[in-house]
Amino acid sequence: MKRSFLLAILMSAACIWAGEPDSNQRGRYLIVIGGCNDCHTPGYPESGGKTPESDWLVGSPVGFQGPWGTTYPTNLRNSVAHQTEAEFLAKAHTAMRPPMPWISLANMTDSDLKAVYHYIKSLGPKGPDAPAYKAPGENVETPYFEFVPKNLPPSDDQTGGQQ
């Protein structure tokens, strides 16, 4: 009787464990559905998502310019290579310059953020870092998309919440 009970407990635990997705696979899934590759992987949207995974998340020298200045998609592989999990989680809960959808990132669960962190970390560093942020009015020598809505009423805050 004791053996049957112990066996039932072990089998239940094995079923629960087997049902949990691998953390790296969960992180990969979140990267894909979160649209991270759309900006952080050159050519991803144009390829219909067919960019080899070995080329994912290397950032881009093509900037996004708006009232906040000019920002560039970070080389996540290089930045995560130098961050602890705790540092990554803290950064994920911090406001970032547009067009990064940081509010979506900040609302992810710590479990999901950890999966994203470990997936990116598993890819290893690759390529150069993205260019540095340029404040409004600074000379920009790289290609960039201009994010300037037309015909908006005046606003007191043109920084996107950033100082």
Is pLDDT above 90 for 161?
A: no
3-state SS class at 144: strand
Backbone angles phi, psi at 141, to 5 degrees: -105, 0
Give CA–CA dist 41/25, Å, rounded: 18
Token couple for 40: 């952080």
Q: Tell me: the pLDDT tens digits for 81-99?
A: 999 999 999 999 999 999 9
Is pLDDT above 80 for 25?
A: yes
The rounded Cα 41 to chain-centroid distance in angstroms is: 11
Strand 63-66 vs strand 69-71: parallel, antiparallel, or unpaired?
Answer: antiparallel
pLDDT tier for residue 8 given thresholds of 50, 70 and 90: very low
| Residue keyed to tokens 């894909």 | 32
**pTM exceeds 0.85, yes or no:** no
